[in-house]
Chains A and B, each alone.
Chain A
Amino acid sequence: MEILMSVLVGILFTAGTYLVLAKSLLRIVLGTSILGHGALLLLLTMGGIKTGAPPLLGLESTTYTDPLPQALILTAIVINFGTLGVFLVIAYRSYQELGTDDMEELRGTEDE
């Protein structure tokens, strides 16, 4: 399972990097989101996939799954969505204001 997850993380990172390097602004925004998902899955995989009973005391089990990675991911997902939202808004506003979503044209000049 870990190997499968690692491959998935690799694919997500590849796709995310590819999109971040694109010209179109919307692709870049989506690329950061995909990169984020890759990072979160990596955090889950590295923390250890389910190895025992759910981390609830009282169940009759000797091994329990580590709950920490899931707590971390819950927080990180919220932050990820927050930044994605802000990024989308800023991207949309710049598209309105600057009239283009092509990164080549967004370079700007010194004396502006």
Chain B
Amino acid sequence: MNNLVILPLLIPLLTGILLIFFRKQIKVQRYVTTLSLLLLLAVTALLTHQVSIEGPQTLNVGGWEPPFGIVLVADMFAMLLVMATVIVTFCCMLYAFRTVGEEREKHYFYMFVHFMIVGIMGSFLTGDLFNLFVFFEIMLLSSYILISLGGKKDQLRESLKYVLINIVSSMLFIVAIAYLYSITGTLNFADLSVKIAETGQDGLITTVAIFLMLVFAIKAALLMYFWLPGAYVVPPMAISAMFAALLTKVGIYAIFRTFTLIFYHEAVITHELIGWLGVATMILGGIGAVAYWDLRRILAYNVIIAVGFIMIGLAVFTETALAGSIYYLIHDMIVKALLFLLGGVMIGLTGTDQLREMSGMIRNHALLGWMFFLAAFALAGVPPLSGFIGKLLILDGAIDEGFYVMAAVGLITSLMVLYSVMKIFMNGFWGENQLSVEDEKMSTKGLLFPCAILAVLSIGLGVGVEWVNVYALQAAEVLNNPQVYIDAVLQN
């Protein structure tokens, strides 16, 4: 029992409620948001430290013992993601203070961001399947609002599709929960794992597992990504960056959690399927990224490619590959947020998102240009930066285990990623300078600071592999050896 585990949920929840009362005072809202996120950062850092020393921490909510009550579990995998979530949100909020506009701020923008954070944190920390559904819904309800907030035509149109897809997939989630409950009689992750290990994973359970994977795949944009480019293109860039960095990662986390902890007995069927879905996702996402000349769409398709690549690590299912996936997941959260924020500055300066209409921005905005260059290289996995080590570990694991096709597709799509982001860089920053400082639609004042934090983190993750690797390996160990998780939950 560790009461600290609930604080990552409680702080944003209470802040969100508090912000309702300061609707008109935008300054107060901004200060409260900054303070609460800094507090959250301190709490998660402390909790991560505890987890790294004492192993997974749990909290039985209301004092009910695990298989029966609600349990929150903070293991290293969850904590790393929680940490990355807080950092990304902090940077996106610093960016949003300047860009999101007074109208949205007055209409509870920060409040919904905080509630979304509650949902995301809850999904990472929850220890049973039904609460995963509940926290998913909290996150999704807030994201519906954030997409449609502002009420422009394209926003409403895309949010209709997004809402519909997610409601239908949530209903399928309930159906999967119902089947699983009737088969096993429990919904607690640890208890499910024990029960399925005892009785063996027969065909029925595997079917339910694949059904559950379908649900998570829709949320994670694994092959079922058709809703993603539209939904991530329409909201303001600060929100798009948060979505790209966080929302699909929750689905990925859910797939990793269920398929390493519960349904790991039939890896030949389920994990192989996940791998091939990943391959298809990478190829289709890569084609999308290369095809478009629209900055936002290229970035949105890059989100999809990363999802596919992370899944290769799960398909290979060795400790090296899992550590690689975890590493890549964290890298991807930070770099995706960085790229979207920088893309937002580019769109803000030129007033268009068409690459053919912008050029030569590096003359007036050298720092912006070089940061984009750095982010592009990090995304493609060029050595000193953060993407490299994750990519290396995943590919290393894949080749060791004989998954040659998956490794090859991973490498080829890396080139597609590099081409697509370099296309943005070359069209946006090289060539004739069309835009004098007076013509720019907005100033970059204060916008580059949050981007710089993320860029430094990306370099730090790459250069400081030795320090971060300790945590990634610890997280991979829990994933690879479910007994650690089960013991932490059921025997405390």
A, B co-complexed:
yes
Chain A interface residues (CB < 8 Å from chain B): 20, 25, 28, 32, 35-36, 38-40, 42-43, 45-48, 68-69, 72, 75-76, 79, 82-83, 86-87, 90-91, 93-94, 97-98, 106, 108, 112
Answer whether residue B154 sits at the interface, using C-beta atoms and an 8 A cutoff.
yes
Q: Is the CB of B177 within 8 A of A86?
A: no
**Chain B residue contacts of A97, Cβ below 8 A:** 151-153, 156
Is A90 a contact partner of B160 (Cβ separation < 8 A)? yes
Name the distance in Å between A82's Cβ and chain B's nearest Cβ. Answer: 6
Minimum CB–CB distance for A92 against chain B, Å: 10
Chain A interface mostly: helix
Count chain B CB atoms within 10 A of each CB in A20, A38, A79 and give the residue with the most.
Answer: A79
- The digit string for B140-159, where 1 denotes a CB below 8 A from any CB of A, is 11001100100111101101
* B168 near A32: Cβ-Cβ < 8 Å: yes
Per the bound structure, the CA–CA distance linking A91 and B151 in Å amounts to 11
Contact of B174 among A25, A40, A87, A106 (CB under 8 A): A40
Q: Are A43 and B160 in contact (CB under 8 A)?
A: no
Q: Which of A28, A43, A93 contacts B164 (CB 8 A)?
A: A28
Q: Which residue of B lies closest to A85 (CB)?
A: B141
Q: In the complex, which residues of chain A have a beta carbon less than 8 angstroms from the beta carbon of B133?
A: 76
- Are B144 and A86 within 8 A (Cβ)? yes
Q: Which residues of B contact A108 (CB under 8 A)?
A: 153-154, 157
B171 (CB) vs chain A CBs: closest residue:
A39
CB distance from A72 to the nearest CB of B (A): 6
- A112, B144: Cβ atoms closer than 8 Å: no
Residues of B near A42 (CB, < 8 A) are 174-175, 178
Taking a contact as CB atoms closer than 8 A, the residue among A35, A72, A86 that contacts B163 in the complex is A86
Report the minimal beta-carbon distance from A52 to chain B, rounded to whole angstroms: 15
Report 19 cross-chain contacts, Cβ distance below 8 Å, ordered by A residue.
A32-B171, A39-B178, A42-B175, A43-B175, A43-B177, A43-B178, A45-B178, A47-B182, A68-B181, A72-B181, A79-B134, A83-B170, A86-B144, A93-B151, A94-B156, A94-B157, A94-B160, A98-B153, A98-B156
User: Are B160's CB and A46's CB within 8 A?
Assistant: no
Residues of A within 8 Å of B266, CB to CB, are none
Asked if B227 is at the interface (CB within 8 A of a chain A CB), the reply is no
Cα A17 to Cα B187 in complex, Å, equals 27
User: A83–B178 contact, CB under 8 A?
Assistant: no
Cα distance A20–B182 when bound, in Å? 28
Which of A35, A86, A112 is within 8 Å of B154, CB to CB?
A: A112
Please list the 6 inter-chain residue pairs (A to B) with the smallest Cβ-Cβ separation, ordered nearest first: A46-B182, A94-B156, A46-B178, A43-B178, A39-B174, A39-B171
Measured CB to CB, the nearest residue on chain A to B354 is: A111
Query: What does the 1/0 interface line of B162-194 toward A look like (CB < 8 Å)?
Result: 011001101110110111011000010000000
User: Which residues of chain B from 112 to 142 have any CB-CB distance to chain A below 8 Å in the complex?
Assistant: 130, 133-134, 137, 140-141
Known: A42-B175, A43-B178, A83-B167. 8 other contacts (CB 8 A): A20-B168, A46-B179, A47-B178, A83-B163, A87-B163, A87-B164, A90-B163, A98-B157
Contacts of A112 in B (CB 8 A): 153-154
The answer for the CA separation of A72 and B187 in the assembled complex, in Å, is: 11
Given contacts A79-B137, A93-B151, A108-B157, contact A86 B168 (CB under 8 A): no
A32-B160 Cα distance, complex, nearest whole Å: 12
Q: Within the assembled complex, what's the spacing in Å between the Cα atoms of A69 and B182? A: 10
In the complex, the chain B residue whose C-beta lies closest to that of A87 is: B163
Interfacial chain A residues near B171, Cβ < 8 Å: 32, 35-36, 38-39
Contact check, B175 vs A32: say whether CB atoms are below 8 A apart.
Answer: no
Partner of A90, one of B140, B148, B181, B182: B148
In the complex, A93→B147 CA distance in Å?
A: 13
* Most central of B145, B148, B168 by chain A CB within 10 Å: B168
- Cα separation A106 to B230 with both chains bound (whole Å): 13
